A and B are shown apart, each in its own frame.
Chain A
């Protein structure tokens, strides 16, 4: 998937949210205000297109904190270049999603 990939506004919004450090499904939902039925299928599409990749949190961390492990998403190289192209197309995205201060692995 090249940098010229044109994303819908929703997909670009989700990509920007992940890039900003909202790296699991519910945080993306909270940040974008989109419902789970939109966010998750969109993330599946982005992952299918190679713009993001997912990784399960280490079991040991989750066990220590007595909670189930979460699935984290991060941008791939193709995802980053696609996001740059999308930000030119949707300049307001930059302002809509601030950078998350707490970055997860």
Chain B
């Protein structure tokens, strides 16, 4: 037990400050921000849905919970059910086998809700595109409010995009 505490105290706090600059906010869109302010009052419950990703995006979403980014300190938390969620964070192209599951998840999420398409596949189809097995980008299946590009987007980009949603005007 002593070793454990020793490791904790010698490691210290590694969590980093993250600032979001005005230009970045602008890039994400002022309209979106106003909507979030009105509806979610600064706290965001996210349900992540992998609709057909290669699992690269999931690794970076996991990284958001590591001590460097510690996403929960901003009031952003990942929930186990769409019924608890404000936001659906969708990764991957939507595979056809996942189409109904995604639609049902979307329906199960209470209004007002927000859909973020994360990664190149979810945003525009990426390497996989539209085919017999894939519906392509997420907005081909459900309405998308925001896209975060990158293959996969780094946790910092991801965190900044989420924070931009939360900031008061």
A and B associate in one complex: no
Which B residues fall within an 8 A CB radius of A?
none
